[in-house]
């Protein structure tokens, strides 16, 4: 294992409730009677990307208007308003990172293990989420940051992972990805990257059969991972734990019959 690749929304932080509230605030601001409750938003998360999610919903309820010549421009304007509302909810560290994320990133930085981001979220959303826990120069912690501006093709396509691997200069089989959703897992696996999944309330019903490991979270010393309670020495996920799991996955692949 030579590098780590992190998804963002749902993986670094449990952001989806803040996103849902921001979408609804944007709809209200422009006078739309749309409202995405939790069950509906859970289904809409199968569509990767905020703009794509708006357009998909619009096409479902008003297919003719959503096919108009100015549809893309309207969606972009609405998404920009949504991004402003999201920033207001997240700015100042009001949305904490998930357990173990800050610790694992610091450990990787301190030991020289390169880390990358592979996400479908926007650069603005990244800045507002990560500037508080890691400082305004948070990007220096990452060898590569691949986001919605990197590739037009969203997960579950592997394009953003291919971009991250190219920037890292590391083979897919020598990395571990950290994801929270089925779309993210499918994207990482399509790129050949073994993946650890930490689902959220919005994604825990997804299928994770191809994951290297599925855990409630990465844990910390004072917040152990429930699935690791039987491992006396390791109740949270660190680089040593990831290397061990990666080694097991590599061995299983090597021993698989042709």
Q: How many domains does the chain have?
A: 2
| Secondary element (H or E) of residue 175 | strand 175-179
What is the predicted pLDDT for the residue at 230? 58
Percent of the chain beyond pLDDT 70?
95
Domain of 57 in residue numbering reads as: 16-90
Q: Is 9 a catalytic residue?
A: yes
Q: Are residues 190 and 174 in the same domain?
A: yes
9 and 26: one domain? no
- Confidence band (pLDDT; 50, 70, 90) for 228? confident
Taking the C-alpha atoms of residue 142 and residue 234, their distance in angstroms, rounded to an integer, is 26
Angle between helices 50-61 and 16-29 (to 10 degrees): 50
Q: Mutual orientation of helices 71-90 and 50-61 as an angle, nearest 10°?
A: 130
pTM for the predicted model, two decimal places: 0.90
In the prediction, which pLDDT does 92 show? 76
Q: Which of 9, 147, 159, 180 is catalytic?
A: 9
Q: Which two structure tokens, joined as six digits, stand for 16?
A: 């989806």
Annotated active-site residue in 7, 14, 147, 159: 7
The pLDDT tens digits of the residues spanning 81-99 come to: 999 999 999 987 789 999 9
Given a cut of 50, is residue 140 above it in pLDDT? yes
Angle of CA points 181, 187, 190, to nearest 5° = 135
Residue 123 sits in the same domain as residue 68: no
In a shared domain, residues 45 and 106: no
- Banded pLDDT at 251 (limits 50, 70, 90): very low
């Amino acid at each position: 294992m030579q590098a780590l690749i992190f998804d963002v929304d749902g993986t670094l932080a449990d952001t989806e409730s803040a996103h849902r509230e921001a979408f609804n605030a944007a709809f209200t601001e422009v006078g739309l009677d749309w409202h995405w409750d939790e069950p509906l938003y859970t289904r809409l998360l199968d569509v990767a990307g905020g703009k794509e999610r708006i357009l998909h919903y619009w096409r479902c309820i008003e297919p003719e208007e959503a096919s108009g010549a100015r549809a893309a421009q309207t969606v972009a304007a609405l998404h920009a308003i949504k991004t402003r509302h999201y920033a207001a909810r997240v700015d100042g560290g009001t949305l904490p990172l998930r357990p173990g994320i800050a610790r694992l990133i610091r450990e990787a930085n301190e030991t020289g293990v390169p880390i990358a981001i592979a996400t479908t979220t926007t650069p603005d959303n990244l800045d507002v989420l990560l500037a508080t826990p890691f400082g305004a120069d948070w990007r220096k912690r990452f060898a590569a940051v691949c986001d919605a501006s990197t590739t037009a093709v969203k997960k579950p396509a592997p394009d953003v992972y291919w971009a991250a691997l190219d920037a890292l200069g590391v083979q897919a089989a020598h990395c571990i990805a950290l994801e929270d959703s089925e779309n993210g897992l499918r994207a990482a696996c399509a790129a050949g990257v073994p993946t650890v999944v930490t689902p959220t309330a919005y994604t825990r019903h997804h299928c994770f059969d191809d994951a290297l490991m599925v855990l409630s979270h990465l844990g910390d010393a004072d917040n152990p991972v429930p699935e690791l309670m039987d491992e006396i020495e390791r109740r949270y996920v660190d680089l040593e734990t990831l290397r061990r799991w990666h080694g097991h996955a590599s061995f299983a692949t090597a021993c698989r019959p042709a």
